[in-house]
Structure 1
Amino acid sequence: MQLQPQNIQELTNQSSLIASPKLEVKNLFKSYQGNNKQKLVILQDINFQIFSHEFICLLGTSGCGKSTLLNIIAGLLPPSSGQVIVDQQIVTGRPGSDRGMVFQGYTLYPWLTVAQNVAFGLQFQKMSKAERRERVSYFLNVVGLLNFANNYPKQLSGGMKQRVAIARALANEPAVLLMDEPFGALDAQTKEQMQQFLLELWKQTHVTVLMITHDVEEAIYLSQRIYVMSASPGQIKAEVNIPLPENRELDIKLSTDFVEIKRRVINLLRRDSLSTLVEE
């Protein structure tokens, strides 16, 4: 069978889409004017790519600028220079439905029910009330909270509140789900339960995830790749591939492979801390 020019062009376009990153950060800088009128550089020459359906973690110590970087990607802060590109479209500096955001705090409206919280962003889209109800029910079922649709946030545990926040972000069907240390306020046991939940949710929905954390074990357990950030100014110091099976139980944290990856990542972070102390 001989391909016609139109078929060749379609195949070329499909190949280009497959190869294109879902999210790309290019030559990004962020600086502020200090009290002494000197420029304070927070982020310096940040470059990385995330492809469709990947789960990627940005890992760094406190003060490395990872939350600032995530807020820039979300459109909550403008970069000083450089670009953020989602689905080959440059982010223009304002939040968009293509980027769902889940914060460390629960950020739920206490006067709205669980279902109303999930539906909040949908009211700004052109869809009928029936479509909104159907989508809210679908995502509440995905996160296991359909039976709590009429409850208020004060009636939920911390882990349940974060599941509502995740459902709200997913309901808008974002190209990329951005997560800012979403389990940082939870106790250790609930945190591990939420890590398992998030991994299953990612496999079920195939959403592309960029999550920031300072927890080394959390980053290794959840992600396929880790970008390790250094501080003062914040830079991408290393990219670490995570060659663990996609189906992961909590016991994998005790495996030899997991411990070896953890040792490598900790050494990267430790060398950065020592370099900072020497410079100071």
Structure 2
Amino acid sequence: MGQPKLAVRHLNKTFQSQRRPLVVLQDINLNIYPNEFVCIVGKSGCGKSTLLNIVAGLVPPTSGQVLMDGVAVQGPGRDRGLVFQSYTLFPWLTVAQNIGYGLKLQRLPKPERRQRVAYYLDVVGLTQFAKAYPKQLSGGMKQRVAIARALANEPDVLLMDEPFGALDAQTKEQMQQFVLNLWEQTHVTVLMITHDVEEAIFLSQRIYVMSAHPGQIKAEIGIDLPTQRDMELKLTPEFLQIKRQVVHTMRDRLEPG
């Protein structure tokens, strides 16, 4: 498959506490190839968010490396866009201003900035809400703005941390379909973490399953499903068989050794 766009090599993270060191991540190794959509799935507390924050350059590892195109990550960078569970929008800025915020920091010329904001407003279907403020939007719309803001910086990899965890079930499914369609349209490389097994299977081409205490990669599971997907896919025998495999992998204890 060639060189991975994003690679994690022998990554460990230990937090120091007054009682004893807490090992959160142990010997994490994974590869994300160009234009892939990969999910990391695991129970709450397994270290998924810590891993994503290290990949984003927000938290340093205790040891090991994160590599972008073979170059070690030293901190945050424009090559990695990040979308959190909370929308993290600026309430005093309009939708268009939120999307263009990073471009303004980059001092992109105004005409180019307006053009790019308009493009991503169209991509996420929010052109008519360009002048609206976050308080006027639904939860799903706010998350679409957050995704558009991350994509407007044209990152090499989009990192998503439980992006639909705060949404109701119906909106969550709508956003899953939206993100899948968006990925098919843009082919941005995506690494997303979630504890929702169905979400991970529906969206991704590969899944890494994590175990907890300490967080380790327990298994890598390929998702052999059609590229074109809709919600009916979740009811098919093929989907349910993969779900059974992932759930059993998460449930079984990691073998010693």
TM-score, with structure 1 as normaliser: 0.89
* Aligned match of 1:237: 218
1:62 to 44, 48, 52: 44
Deviations 1:205-253 (A, max 9, x none): 0100000000000000000000000000000000000000000010000
In structure 2, runs of 5+ residues without a counterpart are: none
Deviations 1:14-69 (A, max 9, x none): xxxx7110000001000011222x22110000000000000000000001000000
Amino acid at match of 1:173: E
2-structure distance, mates of 1:146, 1:81: 44
1:198 aligns with 2:179: yes
**C-alpha contact 1:105 1:182 (8 A) present in aligned 2:** yes
1:132: how far off?
0.3
**Once the two structures are aligned, what percentage of the paired residues are identical?**
67
**Runs of 4+ in structure 1 displaced over 6 angstroms?**
none
SS in 2 for 1:151: coil
* Aligned match of 2:145: 164
* Aligned match of 2:101: 120
**C-alpha contact 1:87 1:175 (8 A) present in aligned 2:** no
Amino acid at match of 2:118: S
2-structure distance, mates of 1:192, 1:227: 21
2-structure distance, mates of 1:208, 1:39: 34
TM-score, with structure 2 as normaliser: 0.97
Alignment of 1:167-178 (within 5 A): 167-178=148-159
* Greater mean alpha carbon deviation, residues 55-64 or residues 125-134: 125-134
* Aligned match of 2:136: 155
- Larger of the two Rg values belongs to structure: 1
Structure number with the higher helix fraction is 1
1:138 to 119, 122, 125: 119
In structure 1, runs of 5+ residues without a counterpart are: 1-17
Alignment of 1:1-280 (within 5 A): 19-36=2-19, 38-92=20-74, 94-272=75-253
Structural RMSD (CA): 1.1
2-structure distance, mates of 1:75, 1:179: 14
